[in-house]
Amino acid sequence: MTKPFGLPVALTLVLFLIAFAASALEVKSTNGQAMDVEVLGYTKSSGNLRIKRLSDGMIFNTKIEIFDDASRAAIEKAAPVMMPDLKVEVSVGKRRARIGDSSYMKKQEITTTLKISNGSRDIDLGRSKFTVLLMGRSTSRFANRDADAGKVLAKESFEQSIPAGKMVEFESKPVMTEFDSDFDASNIGGWEYDGYVLIIQDAEGKIVDSKSNIGPVQTETLKDPEKVKKALELQKDTIVDRALNRLNRSF
């Protein structure tokens, strides 16, 4: 006898039991009551726990503290890893000044503050590495369309955990750049601030999220995991196109 999908009943039963065993976890409360559960979610910062009792399928929202020490350790290990909803707010301060007596060459100081909020109520972000690239764009493009390129003005990293509902703030070191402010065919070049790229890695170094406010990076680079990996390898002063692909050109 076979199932409608073509699998023998015995094989179907074996697969079901394997899946059940993988998700089933025996836990005991602090007063010794035992039950088999599936851990649906756990928030370490608050102790909030969501479990399904396997005997009847009932779901409970409770606190991990009601279980004994061994069960707590097992629950933490079995809890599914989920990515919280991160919101990034970037404020950029740009101060410009003339270079000498020049009416067109400008010196620009860029200061960037990132506020990263965990918008999830029940998902902590464990300790993660945040890498920030501040990108410049060549002003030579106004005189020559083929000269449109980007440059890594700065690269900084920091490590931080963000509990559910909390926020962290990071301020980059000031970056100095110079460019021709006559945006016409007479432009002799330089680099003006273009935007940021933020790449987040978990404790094992796996890339778990990435964000940017640069159009081609949003529409092309961040949609390709391999391109995000290559972007993470970029160093200060590297010349790239606006999608962060390396260019073998000098400016």
Q: How far apart are CA 112 and CA 127, in angstroms?
A: 22
DSSP the chain: -B-TTS-BHHHHHHHHHHHHHHH-EEEEBTTS-EEEEEEEEEETTTTEEEEEETTT--EEEEEGGGB-HHHHHHHHHHSPP----EEEEEEEEEEEEE-TT-SSEEEEEEEEEEEEEE--SS--EEEEEEEEEEEEEEGGGGT-GGG--EEEEEEEEEEEEE-TT-EEEEEPPPEEEEEE---STT---BEEEEEEEEEEE-TTS-EEEEEESSHHHHHTGGG-HHHHHHHHH--TT-EE-TTS-B-----
Mean pLDDT of 43-47: 85
- On whether both 221 and 106 belong to a single domain, the answer is yes
How much is the average pLDDT of 49-68? 93
Length of the chain counted residue by residue: 251
Residue 123 has φ and ψ, to the nearest 5°, of: -130, 115
- The reply to whether 228 falls in a domain is yes
Q: Do 65 and 103 share a structural domain?
A: no
Q: Identify the pLDDT of residue 82.
A: 82
**What pairing do the DSSP bridges indicate for beta strands 105-118 and 125-138?**
unpaired
Domain identity same for 23 and 93: no
Q: What global pTM score does this model have?
A: 0.74
By residue range, what is the domain housing residue 203? 86-240
Of 78, 98, 129, which marks where a domain is finished?
Answer: 78
| pLDDT, tens digit, 9 for 90 and up, residues 120-157 | 988 899 999 999 999 999 999 999 988 899 999 999 99
Contact call for residues 25 and 74 (beta carbons, < 8 A): yes
Residues in Cβ contact with 46 at an 8 Å cutoff, skipping those fewer than 6 apart: 122, 163, 164
Question: Between the ranges 7-16, 95-104, 222-231, 241-250, where is the mean pLDDT highest?
Answer: 222-231
Q: What angle do CA 10, 14, 18 make, to 5 degrees?
A: 170
Same domain, 91 and 45: no
Which of 45, 78, 111 delimits the end of a domain? 78
Indicate the pLDDT class of residue 7, thresholds 50, 70 and 90: very low
137 and 99 together in one domain: yes
- Strand 34-43 relative to strand 25-28, pairing: antiparallel
Question: Residue range 170-191: average pLDDT?
Answer: 91
pLDDT at 39: 93
Last residue of a domain, one of 26, 45, 78: 78
CA distances from 223 to 110, 211, 218, 226 (A): 28, 10, 7, 9
Residue 247 located in a structural domain: no
Proportion of the chain above pLDDT 90, given as a percent:
63
Q: Are residues 53 and 145 in the same domain?
A: no
Q: Residue 169 is part of a domain; what is its CATH number?
A: 2.60.40.10
Q: How many domains does the chain have?
A: 2
Kindly state whether residues 32 and 155 are assigned to the same domain. Answer: no
The mean pLDDT of 168-187, rounded to a whole number, is 91
Do 62 and 157 sit in the same domain of this protein?
no
